[in-house]
Chains A and B, each alone.
Chain A
Amino acid sequence: MTTPMVKAEDVHKSFGQVEVLKGINLEVRAREVFCLLGPSGSGKSTFLRCINHLERVDAGRLSVDGQLVGYKERAGKLYELNENEIADQRQDIGMVFQRFNLFAHMTALQNVMMAPIQVRNEPKKDVRERALQLLERVGLADQSHKYPSQLSGGQQQRVAIARALAMKPKLMLFDEPTSALDPELVGEVLDVMRNLAESGMTMIVVTHEIGFAREVGDSLVFMDAGVVVEQGTPREVLSNPQHARTQAFLSKVL
């Protein structure tokens, strides 16, 4: 059996007194689109942020491509990674945020070119070429010189996707990528994500877009109150939910 891209074993996370993740177990296979569904506060975003160590896991084991996140294991002992080692781990994991978080003082093109130049010291010329290709891929070749505030939400989010892809990640994390968008702009972002899924990218998507999950997702997990309630293929979970909690949630959003 091949190593799963992400493996979570009994992952716990608390913010102060509040336990947000109460033992998450799941596996994400390479090249699969893995959708996380659930009401707000269920811990799905927190779990996503744990995967690239924007949040530290309190207990349990979380690994990406066979590598523990945030720790290294030597002779049966765990050692915390230092800041720079954590930064290095994040290089291969792309992340797209709900609120885009494009660098406001840079053009779309500069946003995309930033990380490969600063982190990997790649030659500027190559990066520029690749960045332009990526912007073209997300349909924004003609907007490359614009600043984020001159772009619509949908365009910003597509630039954010291109920015993450510029680091050639092996895994892409999407944290409610369409939740901050006007309804009419959601489609263009989902199109880019669908296209990315078809190219074989491993994707973990926290979303409220049931349609997208059903159509593009390979696996679907329903989370509530910090635990995985139900798991399966999108078709199974969405059309035939077993759990009362899942049924109640789906009846409201479908």
Chain B
Amino acid sequence: MSNSNEPMTGPVTSADRPAPIQAIPVRHWGQMIAGVIVIALLAAFLYAVATNQNIDWSIVGENLFNSTILSGLWITISLTILSMIIGIVLGIGLAIMRLSPNRVLNSVAAGYIWIFRGTPQLVQLLLWFNLALFFPRLGIGDFSVDTNTVITAFVAALLGLGLNEGAYMAEIVRGGILSVDHGQSEASMALGMRRQKTMFKIVLPQAMRVIIPPMGNDLITMLKMTSLVTVIAAPDLLNRAQTISVRNFYIFELLIVASIWYLVLTTIATIIQSRLEKRFARGIAARPSTRARVLKNLKPGRVESIAAVTEPNATPEDHGVKS
């Protein structure tokens, strides 16, 4: 048994190796000209915006960290996170139901997805907000409460966003589950594991690799989608910005304030997403412990170390097959 875990040797370099080729690279004239045009247009636009008499930039600056704006920002963040949690939990449940041989569960999930994907998000928000028109009181028999005290604007927003997200997440999770090789669940069942254990211990952990990237995408979409709750007067970022502009009439300035914050949030979310994507893209299979990976990532020369960590996944030849 020979241990061949050392990396493969690179191309052989010898003393009589010819000098590297010295040549004039291809000039991408089209690209250069296009770049100049784009920069010129961008500069012109920025100049127009910056010198526009109708935009008072000092108002933007003053309101960026206004406490009302920050409270709206907080509502937007918590709405996003809570709706995503509702969506993910629901989505996993619905996906499992959708793939179940049980026809009742299967049809219930299919019906749910049909309804929530088939109606606009905005309409759903309005429906939840106006639930009291249909059900003035919620509860059974003597135990009931006034609908409007339970379904506040925030709760309506949460239901509207979360339940809708569940339907989309269900399709993402279903795709992830179907991507896991059937042999995995077969091996699990052959060991006597029941369906549920097979799903939660074997299939879902491996489906995460496929689920995570689109999930991150949904998170970013959700961040922006929360602005819809303005129509039901939930005090989110956009709603707060508009409340201020109603008072001081700086409509455009406050929309810019809101846009800046949305951009900041989506940028952060995008960075998190691409990190996660990189982590999961190469498969969760061949990886050392989390601690080892974290330590490796902290070391200098991080790029190479990531390559080294993930390399065993590539081809059998790449990682020193033992016999």
A142-B156 Cα distance, complex, nearest whole Å: 57
B55 at the interface (CB under 8 A from A): no
Stretch from A36-44, A82-90, A215-223 contacting the other chain: A82-90
A119 at the interface (CB under 8 A from B): yes
**Number of residues from B at the complex interface, CB < 8 A:** 30
Chain B residues with CB under 8 A of A234: none
A150-B310 Cα distance, complex, nearest whole Å: 10
CB distance from A155 to the nearest CB of B (A): 7
A103-B287 Cα distance, complex, nearest whole Å: 13
A99 at the interface (CB under 8 A from B): yes
Residue of B nearest to A187 (CB): B323
The answer to whether B193 touches A118 (Cβ under 8 A) is yes
A114-B192 Cα distance, complex, nearest whole Å: 11
Interface residues of A in 95-136 (CB under 8 A from B): 95, 97, 99, 101-105, 114-115, 118-119
B197 at the interface (CB under 8 A from A): yes
The answer to whether B192 touches A90 (Cβ under 8 A) is yes
Chain A residues with CB under 8 A of B183: 97, 99, 101
B316 at the interface (CB under 8 A from A): yes
If the complex has contacts A105-B206, A150-B286, A152-B323, are A84 and B191 also in contact, measured as CB distance less than 8 A? no
B302 at the interface (CB under 8 A from A): no
Residue of B nearest to A188 (CB): B323
Chain A interfacial positions (CB closer than 8 Å to B): 52, 54, 83-84, 87-95, 97, 99, 101-105, 114-115, 118-119, 147-155, 160, 163-164, 167, 184-185, 188
Chain B interfacial positions (CB closer than 8 Å to A): 181, 183-184, 186-195, 197, 201-202, 205-206, 283-287, 312-313, 316, 319, 321-323
Query: What are 23 A-B pairs at a CB distance below 8 A?
Result: A54-B189, A54-B190, A84-B194, A87-B194, A89-B192, A90-B189, A90-B190, A91-B191, A102-B187, A103-B202, A104-B206, A105-B205, A105-B206, A114-B193, A114-B201, A119-B194, A119-B197, A150-B286, A151-B322, A152-B322, A155-B322, A167-B192, A185-B323
